[in-house]
Homo-oligomer: A and B are copies of this chain.
């Protein structure tokens, strides 16, 4: 018997008629035999913000434990409504809050991590012929307190449940048909990807594609859960996110992503061997500032410039901390540039193919776009460019890499496989 987890995000359950639509979708799915479903739902679109606003209008800074108690009601409402809608359609269904589904987390309120899921109650419901409708985004800690998982939480709940229940697949229903080679609202020639590896999806998510949260992709990769991203509102097979070995084809470049929410901080003219840099990064980390790219430039034998990128919203604090350390670093100064964008070129085929970085420089140079920073991994190249050129850069790189069919040929793939 086939068991799948189907997760419906906030826009998919955004109002009553959409919840009814989701119920119809589930009924259609299980009308074919040997199919069992566990549904995972988010709060109705706007509900989490409404609750947050309620909390913040009550107190200036809500205590984390109580904020989670407040926010967790959003998903609970959706589970009840969807379970009702399924029951009305003659399907046995039962809602589960995070604590009822035994989703154990640590005690980091508002950004808790799932530690374990005891599937006894869910399995019992499944064996009884019920469709369990589980509240995403929430769990319970060892002290019996309600916790929430933070951004992307419902995706993580879905993938973690799929892993714990040893489900065959996990569907992530959303308001787009799947994962595209580039953001289709920016790049009209972007194509829907039929397949993509977990590793590539992890880069896509981390580097700007909003369709899935990196933590949920990481979970799916770690537990080898095939993910399917598809639209709640349109027919279509969506994008399948699978183990690398299961890919039908391996393009060198799978897609282009961008982020325009980062800023670059540069420490100028400091001794190349400055040991104080460790202290700077430690202090930034202690303040919860996440550092993304780090590059060293302009080395003249003695002095060098070091740049790193941080989230826009953390850039003022990061700059302040950095400036305070300028004397200790024996640098000339520190400044911040918020007018940057990061464009990333991603593809699992890069593992077996060099020259992508060179082609990026070449393509961007044709458009007179300067590359300010570059960072590479085994399957991606990210470049920082002036923010005003971000759309041109996405277009240029998309047509340079994805426009052409740069798939590694079947023969060379087989060759690679036998070599690994």
Contacts and interface: CB of A to CB of B under 8 A. Distances in A.
Interface of A: 16, 19-20, 51, 54-55, 57-63, 65-67, 69-70, 72-73, 76-77, 79-81, 83-85, 87-88, 94-95, 97, 99-100, 121, 144, 146
Contacts of A81: 54-55, 58, 66, 70
B57 A16 contact: yes
A73 B77 contact: yes
A94 to B, nearest CB: 7
Contacts of A69: 76, 79-80, 83, 95, 97
Per DSSP, chain A at the interface is helix
A83 B95 contact: no
Contacts of A63: 83-84, 87-88
A100 B95 CA distance: 18
Contacts of A51: 77
A72 B100 CA distance: 14
A109 to B, nearest CB: 12
A58 B95 contact: no
A94 B66 CA distance: 8
Nearest to A133: B66
Given A76-B73, A94-B65, A84 B99 contact: no
A53 to B, nearest CB: 10
Contact of A67 (B62, B84, B85): B84
12 contacts: A16-B54, A58-B85, A61-B88, A66-B80, A66-B87, A69-B80, A69-B95, A69-B97, A70-B81, A73-B77, A99-B99, A100-B144
Given A19-B58, A85-B59, A100-B144, A70 B80 contact: yes
A83 B51 CA distance: 15
Contacts of A76: 69-70, 72-73, 76
Q: Choose among A59, A62, A85, A88 the residue with the greatest number of B CB atoms under 10 Å from its CB.
A: A59
Contacts of A94: 65
Contacts of A100: 144
Given A58-B16, A63-B83, A81-B70, A121 B95 contact: no
Contacts of A62: 84
A54 B77 contact: yes
A84 B63 CA distance: 6
A63 B83 CA distance: 9
Nearest to A68: B80
B60 A80 contact: no
A65 to B, nearest CB: 7
A99 to B, nearest CB: 7
